[in-house]
Structure 1
Amino acid sequence: MATKRPSSVQAVKRAVAILKAFTSEEPELSLADLSKRLALPKSTVARLLGTLEEDGLVAKDPETGFYRLGVELLRLANNVHIYTDLRRIARPHMRRLAEEVGESVSIAVLQGNDVVNLDVYVPPGHLVKRVGWAGRQMPAYATAAGRAILAFLPKDERLQHLEGPFQAYTSKTLIDPKRLRLELQRIRKQGYATAFEELEEGLHAVAAPVFNYEQRVIASLSVSGPGYRLTRTRVQEIAPQVVEVALAVSAEMGYRPAN
């Protein structure tokens, strides 16, 4: 009988268990050590270690044959640190902007083809369900928050996000790749993005990009609200404030505009 291969979920759980086996007290472990601790055959552990090593998540000492955590984990940990800093830095600016404009303010980052809210500040008396919540995932192309990021990505990355196909969430969702490309060009020129009922009926938004010390876009700051209150005219009125606050957050993230 052929040996049954582990499911994808089981393989992931085992790989995570390998990474968690390393500690500050025991930063290096042998194949035999890991096999014993995880109660798995050496062949299974060796296969998983090989995959983790290819991705830089573990490294093997060529002399001793012992394994240790790889440098790729440092990069991943740094990303978590950046997001934590971004949320901490943005929070007081978000609160001030929300109080000035009377609408909810969000800070979001790009993950794949979606944007995810890192934090949301909702003025007292407003409904969170109309503007999202921390952790909410939304399609980047159909939101002001997402397009404010997409527009300022390097050209090759930007084009990848314009390949489609795109789903229409409302009758007003922009799904034509050519029109989306032109919209991103407009956003780059004016410095902010808008969306009117493209993700949800009755929901309007305006967003501006947030940059880091490398002058790379890392997030967007947006104001969202119901269209009867956050009208198209009102969006144009507060857009400069959104850009100003996004630049203030960028400055605290080390951004300095190029001369």
Structure 2
Amino acid sequence: MEPTNKRNFAPVRALERGLALLQDLSLYKGAHPQQIARRLELPRPTVVRLLETLEGLGFVERSPSDGSWYPTLYVRSLSDGYNDEAWVRECAAPEIERLGKQILWPVDLHTLQNDMMLVRESTHRTSPFSIQHGLVGTRLPILHTSSGRAYLAFCPDEEREAILDRLAQNPANQAALAGDRRHITKQIAATRQQGYGLRSGELIRATNSLSVPVHAKGRVQAVVTVVWFVSALPVAEGVRRFLEQARECAARIAQKCEAFPDMTMRYRRENSNSTD
């Protein structure tokens, strides 16, 4: 229905601004107050007050990893235009933050997106042992990361073969390694046997990492990754210290995901090339 210009009363300016802010957050999939203020041409203090008001009502929340604001699941009570990335913030972000506080080393959440591993949440910003910041949104090569190895090891066989076929056909995207199926098969078998993905000084030589899959709704929904310095801990010691806690974190995320709607549709939207 088209809006009408006929009004019996003066518009409630605060309500107009609040709804405009919710539309802005949904359109841009999260933002900082200064970005919202610029786009809506509002003073930053006004935007902050609106955000805090909407937070108190349960409509928005602040990401613990980068400080940006997002609409929550409760927005679905207003419309169908809900951002399906909310499962990361509501199911995973609190658990990633919790694990990061326990171990102090950086913790990431990765998901598959078009044959790459996408950093969806991270404690790099708050970890005292991180030299990298602003990683959320970064895409990483699936074959050279512990998260990618964990995903490939525990995803369905048909999906894995389809991913490797596409990578092998793209010279700019890990083609040489993807074409070595004997090496990949051996690596996947080892990852399955140990139950986690491992990266030792590859891609980023200064760090090691281990990754644990998050199984929910009948598939791997995400991967929890712990990163530490090569110079601080040998691989075996890092695994000994962090593996069980990472598994517990993944299990808590999985439990929340089971109760979250539309997880399967989210996967299909993000991976339109996949066979599943």
Per the shorter chain, which TM-score range? 0.5 to 0.7
Runs of 4+ in 1 over 3 A off after TM superposition: 77-80, 163-169, 173-176
What residue in structure 2 maps to residue 209 of structure 1?
213
Query: Which residue identity is paired with 1:217?
Result: V
CA–CA separation in structure 2 for the residues paired with 1:118 and 1:142: 18
Is the CA contact (8 Å cut-off) linking 1:162 and 1:181 kept in structure 2? no
CA–CA separation in structure 2 for the residues paired with 1:167 and 1:205: 24
CA–CA separation in structure 2 for the residues paired with 1:145 and 1:194: 8
Q: 1:119 aligns with which of 121, 146, 150?
A: 121
**Measured at CA, do residues 118 and 168 of structure 1 come closer, stay the same or move farther in structure 2, by a change above 3 Å?**
closer
What does 1:52-63 correspond to in 2, within 5 Å? none
Is the CA contact (8 Å cut-off) linking 1:86 and 1:253 kept in structure 2? no
What does 1:70-109 correspond to in 2, within 5 Å? 80-81=83-84, 83-109=85-111
Is the CA contact (8 Å cut-off) linking 1:168 and 1:175 kept in structure 2? no
CA–CA separation in structure 2 for the residues paired with 1:174 and 1:232: 25
What residue in structure 1 maps to residue 223 of structure 2?
220
What does 1:26-175 correspond to in 2, within 5 Å? 80-81=83-84, 83-122=85-124, 123-129=126-132, 133-163=135-165, 164-165=167-168
Q: 1:246 aligns with which of 247, 250, 260?
A: 250
* TM-fit CA distance, 1:102: 2.2
Query: Which residue identity is paired with 2:148?
Result: G
TM-score, normalisation: structure 1: 0.60
Is the CA contact (8 Å cut-off) linking 2:164 and 2:178 kept in structure 1? no
**Measured at CA, do residues 79 and 126 of structure 1 come closer, stay the same or move farther in structure 2, by a change above 3 Å?**
farther
Is the CA contact (8 Å cut-off) linking 1:105 and 1:224 kept in structure 2? yes
CA–CA separation in structure 2 for the residues paired with 1:147 and 1:246: 16
Matched residue SS, 2:214: strand
**Measured at CA, do residues 147 and 109 of structure 1 come closer, stay the same or move farther in structure 2, by a change above 3 Å?**
same
Percent identity of equivalent pairs: 23
Matched residue SS, 1:145: helix
* TM-fit CA distance, 1:100: 2.1
* TM-fit CA distance, 1:177: 2.7
CA–CA separation in structure 2 for the residues paired with 1:88 and 1:252: 8
Task: Give unpaired runs (5+ residues) of structure 1.
Answer: 1-23, 27-76
Q: 2:182 aligns with which of 165, 178, 203?
A: 178
**Measured at CA, do residues 153 and 124 of structure 1 come closer, stay the same or move farther in structure 2, by a change above 3 Å?**
closer
Q: CA RMSD in A?
A: 2.9
Q: 2:200 aligns with which of 187, 193, 196?
A: 196
Question: Paired residues, what number?
Answer: 176
CA–CA separation in structure 2 for the residues paired with 1:79 and 1:228: 44
CA–CA separation in structure 2 for the residues paired with 1:154 and 1:119: 24
